[in-house]
Amino acid sequence: MSGKPVFQRILLKLSGEALMGPLAFGISPDVMGFLAHEIKGVVESGVQVALVVGGGNIFRGEGLAHAGMDRVTGDHMGMLATVINALALQDAIERVGVPVRVQSALRINEVCEDYIRRKAVRHLEKGRVVIFSAGTGNPFFTTDSAAALRAIEINADLMLKATKVDGIYTADPKKHADARKYEQLTYDEALSRRLGVMDQTAMVLCRDHGVHLCVYDMERPKALQAIVCGDATIGTHVR
Ligand code: UDP
């Protein structure tokens, strides 16, 4: 596979849980360091990189609501958790020498920029990684929906969803030995088979706006680089 990227602008969705690594809660410095190097490689090959980060390693509104908390308050806590993760990611990526800007869909001017689409695109054009935090800024949504929304807004050529398995399977490959990996899928197939790639709101947004999605194994070294260089054997592509 040649080292020349075939995608110019990507949006990578990282779940909060992805940042935990082997920990039961919080952020693993090892995972952050690994991700920072993977992202640096892609940026240095000339690809514009935007990130959307989740917050499930800290708080999820739904979980807090189950424990009796007001759902909207829980979602606000969840969104703020994504800002914490975004700041940690910003730090890790800047430590490997790549400039980063965090933008938030909720106003927290002292710690990061507000989400302004045109400003985000300008940062990307200048080679800065942009991390979109606080989801959509609205309760009752997920960061998968935020990722779909931002990918569409910034005209990303490819949206990637980082997971712990190398794509979408007919069943959970960790529980079913006969589970088969899909190389490619349409959104309608993924929706009708209830494959649980992302929540339905995110899937429908992606489908209706023609987002090219790749679900891949974030723990595989250089997978991100190979995907942006057009290696279609890695992960599952949904269109
Ligand atoms: N959240 C929200 N609106 C959004 C995105 C996220 O209210 O647009 C809240 C919601 O409570 C969610 C939490 O933030 O549970 C963390 O996001 P998510 O569960 O998507 O994180 P991930 O599963 O990717 O770690």
Question: Is there an atom of ligand 1 within 6 Å of 79 CB?
Answer: yes
Strand-pair category, 213-217 with 236-238: antiparallel
Task: Report if residue 99 sits inside a domain.
Answer: yes
Region label for 222, one of left (φ > 0), alpha (ψ between -120 and 50) or beta (otherwise): left
**Residue 85 maps to a domain:** yes
Closest residue by CA, ligand 1 atom 14: 78
Identify which of 44, 53, 39, 54 has the alpha carbon closest to the alpha carbon of residue 93: 39
For residue range 172-223, what is the model confidence (pLDDT) as tens digits? 888 898 999 999 999 999 999 988 889 999 999 999 999 999 999 999 999 9
Cα angle value 8/111/54 (rounded, 5°): 55
With a 6 A CB cut-off, is 139 part of the ligand 1 pocket?
yes
ipTM (interface pTM): 0.99
Index of the ligand 1 atom closest to the CA of residue 64: 11
Convert the pLDDT of each residue in 16-53 to its tens digit: 999 999 998 899 999 999 999 999 999 999 999 999 99
230 is in an annotated binding site: no
167 labeled binding residue: no
CA distance 183 to 118: 35
Give the ranges where the chain is alpha helix by DSSP (H).
29-44, 61-66, 71-95, 117-125, 143-153, 187-192, 200-208, 223-228
Please indicate, yes or no, if residue 90 is contained in any of the structural domains.
yes
Say which CATH number the domain at 167 has. 3.40.1160.10
| CA 57 to ligand 1 centroid distance, Å | 10
In a domain, 4, yes or no: no
Q: How many domains does the chain contain in total?
A: 1
Residue nearest to atom 6 of ligand 1 (CA): 142
Domain with 107, as residue range(s), is: 9-238
Residues 6+ apart with CB under 8 A from 139: 61, 71, 72, 75, 76, 79
Which atom of ligand 1 lies at the shortest distance from residue 17's CA? 25
